[in-house]
Amino acid sequence: MPPDVFPKHGAAKADILDEMTALKKDDVDWRGGRLGVYVHFAGDEVLEIAKEAHHLYFSENALGPAAFPSLRRLEDDVVGWTLGLLGGSPRACGNMTSGGTESIFMAVKTARDRARAEGLGGGDRLRMVVPYSAHPAFSKAAHFLDVDLERVPLRDDFTADPVGLAAAVDDRTFMLVASAPSFPHGVFDPIEEIAALARERNLWLHVDACVGGFVAPFARIAGYPVPDFDLRVPGVTSVSADLHKYGFTAKGASTILFADEALREYQMFEFEDWPRGRYVSPTFAGTRPGGPIAAAWAVIRFLGEEGYVELVRQTMAARDRLLAGIRSINGLVVWGEPSLSVVAFGSENPEGLDIFAVAEAMTRRGWFVTRGAQPPAIHLGMLTPAHAPVVSQYVSDLESAVQEVRRDRLTAADRSATYG
């Protein structure tokens, strides 16, 4: 980006907003369900209450709970409700963060500091052992926090392999990870088995329910089978669950939950060796915007359990129709058995049908297509109720895209799969 001239004169509000609206014209139509990731839309009513609550707390800062006791109350409520949803005992605790990445960062940081304090990992370089499908946020956290990370191959059904994880644990290992479900394939890892390993070897187990934490409990109520995955499972030390995904609230909102408040001392950052005095912060961020906390509180109140169950029903019904549609198309295969709302599908025979060429044919049909790398896939990372009205159109476009690729023997111009 070349340097540009900083605006000298202020501009009129109407002109500014017009310009921004014009700039947006090439962005994806998320309202119309044209993309399967990045935005969670549950209709205008939910959006409005989120926006109004966000607006009400636009200026407040959760770095200063003494100045804004109401904001502390809203955060405590959201964390308490989430603990109730995800099986926290009365001794559990947690915080809101800016997103899944920050929640995961706080889990790794807290686990690392406990391991150091208790002399786990032999005092040498610490090491985490995670399934190959664990989110990149774990590698990012390991990088920033200066610990090693090993990714262990998955089983054939794309779930984590507890035997492989056990074999990879060594004296330096302080932490294991499991996903509920994983982002690449949407499958639940065998969390009870991994938790048993964590107990046996005295390891921290973080369950990454960033995408599933606000789906799984409601899917269970709606009658879908959901394995045990949360703080109820003995051996699970921390859980992350994103509000800005299936909480259907403003971006910048996630939760990090710890099984025991005794762990909080390793979470907190406290410092006083500077002129301003004592500084205390529970998360990576210093200033924490009030808006996302307020929006999460308001949306949860607005929807309640019944509202979320209904949204999950709509999402799962759309997913079931989508899965049936994909499976009815000759040559396509769904990778793994999607537990909730994350679906990845590819080609049964990559020589005969290039799934990335199908992806490009879908792009030409007006869909914003995202991909998976291993195995090559079209990835629908986050189905929502916004997709229900377009499932039939998607499936019929998919059918014609597959026919086009076969007929014209197309191969993809671009073979990369990028997220972010």
Ligand X SMILES: *Cc1c(COP(=O)(O)O)cnc(C)c1O
Length of the chain: 420
Check whether the bond before 181 is cis (ω within 30° of 0): yes
Residue 241 binds to ligand X (criterion: CB under 6 A): no
User: Distance between CA atoms of 405 and 324, rounded to whole angstroms?
Assistant: 21
Residue 380 binds to ligand X (criterion: CB under 6 A): no
Q: Which stretch binds ligand X (CB under 6 A): 56-64, 93-101, 268-276, 394-402?
A: 93-101
Q: How far is the CB of 285 from ligand X (least distance, A)?
A: 12
> Which position among 142, 178, 197, 210 is part of the footprint of ligand X (CB under 6 A)?
210
231 vs 241, beta carbon nearer ligand X: 241
User: Distance between CA atoms of 184 and 159, rounded to whole angstroms?
Assistant: 11
> Which position among 75, 161, 189, 242 is part of the footprint of ligand X (CB under 6 A)?
242
Q: How far is the CB of 69 from ligand X (least distance, A)?
A: 27
Residue 213 binds to ligand X (criterion: CB under 6 A): no
> Which position among 208, 230, 354, 360 is part of the footprint of ligand X (CB under 6 A)?
208
Residue 87 binds to ligand X (criterion: CB under 6 A): no
> Which position among 100, 121, 213, 290 is part of the footprint of ligand X (CB under 6 A)?
100
Residue 179 binds to ligand X (criterion: CB under 6 A): yes
Residue 230 binds to ligand X (criterion: CB under 6 A): no
Residue 75 binds to ligand X (criterion: CB under 6 A): no
Residue 37 binds to ligand X (criterion: CB under 6 A): no
User: Distance between CA atoms of 284 and 382, rounded to whole angstroms?
Assistant: 26
> Which position among 71, 137, 300, 377 is part of the footprint of ligand X (CB under 6 A)?
137
DSSP 252: S
Supply the DSSP string of 397-414, one letter for each residue: HHHHHHHHHHHTT---S-
The 10 Å Cβ neighbour count of residue 54 is 24
List the structure tokens of 10. 């202020």
User: Distance between CA atoms of 41 and 31, rounded to whole angstroms?
Assistant: 7
Residue 99 binds to ligand X (criterion: CB under 6 A): yes
CB 388 within 8 A of CB 317: yes
Residue whose Cβ sits closest to ligand X: 100
| Single-letter residue type at 191 | I
> Which position among 40, 42, 79, 101 is part of the footprint of ligand X (CB under 6 A)?
101
- Residue 418 to residues 273, 370, 372, Cα–Cα distance (Å): 43, 8, 8
The 10 Å Cβ neighbour count of residue 285 is 15
Supply the DSSP string of 78-115, one letter for each residue: HHHHHHHHTT--TT-EEEEESSHHHHHHHHHHHHHHHH
127 vs 251, beta carbon nearer ligand X: 251
List the structure tokens of 222. 């709606």
Tell me, by CB under 6 A, how many residues bind ligand X: 12
List the structure tokens of 93. 């605790």
Residue 211 binds to ligand X (criterion: CB under 6 A): yes
Residues forming contacts to ligand X in the complex (CB under 6 A) are 99-101, 135, 137, 179, 183, 208, 210-211, 242, 254
